[in-house]
Amino acid sequence: MPKFVEMLKERQAFINGVIEDLSLDDVHSLLQVPTKYALLAGGKRLRPIICMLCAEVAGGDYKETRDAFLALELIHNGTLVHDDIIDEDLFRRGSPSVHVKFGGKRAVLTGDALLSLGLRYATKTRNLDIVKWLSDTALKMVQGVALQTFHRRKVASEAMYLNMAYLKSGSLFEAAAALGGLVGSSRPEVAERLADFGRNFGIAYQIRDDICGVFAEDKTDDLSRSDILNGDLTLPFIYALESEAISEQDKNSLMDVFLGRTEQIGDKEVQRIYEETGALDRSIRKMKDFAEKGRKSLNNFEKSDAGDCIHYLLDQYYKYFKPRKKLKIAI
């Protein structure tokens, strides 16, 4: 097994063990099952892994991040439960969404319970900087979802999209890296340098997600066109409309679906438009630009296995990215 995959699996196993052992005794009995369901629904635990690795880069022990990454993961999952309700998404990570399985009212309260538990574990760190990072990040994520929700079916600029990508996705990776820095070093300036890495990693992650939403072949459900069908902005969509190479017919086809006039468009047609207009290649370049900015933020730290593992993640997620190729990280 490659060295870095082994490191990632070890940390992932630690995270999963902590989450599986999490006590829900203080959560109402009617909410305990959906809360556990939301937490154990799968996922690579990438954000808490980033938190751990950044703590190690800063000179600490990854196991010391327990309360910090738990707060982060609880808040993250609480927002996902609420997001699925707002977006009326039927699936999350290939399984029925919480609101589908348990009903809307229990789902709202489950999301609230997860967010409240996140605050509890934030205070357990006894670090006001960590509490501030998490509270500020939670507010940014709300702003990002509000932007997405209330600008649905409205075409916007690349600048607005990137701001939304930061608020929705980049801010949580930013916090994950900063929390790791605070646990590993207790020095705010170290946390800020690592936060810069996390922010850029997270924006790149959102762009990658946009691309995979149309091009990835290893689908777990039939929602590959959900962004354009829902009228949600993605970078390939913006770039396609901006392209001088787009035909009037193709522009009308995209806009008719984006504006909700029709649902008659297939994956292959969207893929063709994004490829022929250069929107796909341009989106990949932008994604890699952000990833490389994140990589440069790590340059001033001493060489370490944890730092090399982060570079491995950057390579696997972004440098060697192919839109139709399944991610080959065995965690």
The domain total for the chain is: 1
141-158 pLDDT per residue, tens: 999 999 999 999 999 999
Q: How many CB atoms lie within 10 A of CB 211?
A: 21
Instruction: Report yes or no on 152 lying in a domain.
Output: yes
Residue 308 is encoded by which pair of tokens? 């090399």
Report if residue 37 sits inside a domain.
yes
Helices 305-314 + 3-20 axis angle, to 10: 90
What's the pLDDT at 329? 61
What DSSP string describes 186-239?
--HHHHHHHHHHHHHHHHHHHHHHHHHHHH-S--SSS-TTHHHHHT---HHHHH
Q: What is the distance of C-alpha 113 from the center of its chain?
A: 21
| pLDDT for position 217 | 56
Query: 98 in a domain, yes or no?
Result: yes
pLDDT (0 to 100) of residue 230: 85
pLDDT in tens, 222-265: 334 578 888 999 999 999 999 999 999 999 999 999 999 988 88
State the average pLDDT for the chain. Answer: 93
Position 223 scores a pLDDT of 39
Percent pLDDT > 70 in the chain is 95
Say if residue 171's pLDDT is above 70.
Answer: yes
- Is residue 221 over pLDDT 50? no
Half-sphere exposure of 34 toward its Cβ, with a 13 Å CA cutoff?
27
Whether residue 219 is predicted with pLDDT greater than 60 in this model: the reply is no
What's the pTM? 0.94
- Is residue 112 within 8 A of residue 77, CB to CB? The reply is no
Q: Look up residue 191 and give its amino acid.
A: A
| CA nearest to 20, candidates 40, 37, 38, 34 | 40
User: What pLDDT, on the 0 to 100 scale, is given for residue 222?
Assistant: 39
- Using 50, 70 and 90 to split pLDDT, how confident is the model at 220? very low
11: Cβ contacts below 8 Å, ≥ 6 apart = 45, 48, 49, 52, 53, 62
Q: What is the CATH number of the domain that holds 195?
A: 1.10.600.10
7-45 confidence digits (pLDDT tens): 999 999 999 999 999 999 999 999 999 999 999 987 889
Question: What residue ranges in the chain does DSSP mark as E strands?
Answer: 91-92, 95-96
Tokens 């993605």 correspond to what residue? Answer: 234
Amino acid sitting at position 55: A
Average pLDDT estimate for 52-61 = 98
Looking at 82-91, 99-108, 134-143, which range is the least confident one?
Answer: 82-91
Would residue 324 count as lying in a domain? Answer: no
Q: What pLDDT, on a 0 to 100 scale, did the predictor assign at position 331?
A: 57
Please list, in sequence order, all residues whose beta carbon lies within 8 angstroms of the beta carbon of residue 321, skipping any fewer than 6 positions away.
208, 284, 287, 288
The per-residue pLDDT for 328 is 59
Domain-embedded: residue 89? yes
Contact 253, 265 (CB under 8 A): yes
Domain membership of residue 142 (yes or no) is: yes
Strands (DSSP E) contained in 65-115 are 91-92, 95-96
Which of 318, 324, 260 is closest to 290 using CA atoms?
318
Beta-carbon contacts of residue 36 (< 8 Å; ≥ 6 apart)? 24
Q: Which domain holds residue 242?
A: 3-319
CB neighbour class for 218 (10 Å; exposed up to 12, middle 13-18, buried from 19): exposed
Segment 108-133 shows an average pLDDT of 97
Count Cβ atoms below 10 Å from residue 258 Cβ, excluding itself. Answer: 23
274-298 residue pLDDT tens:
999 999 999 999 999 999 999 999 9
- The answer, yes or no, to whether residue 107 has pLDDT greater than 60, is yes
Is there a domain that residue 129 lies in?
Answer: yes
Q: Is residue 328 part of a domain?
A: no
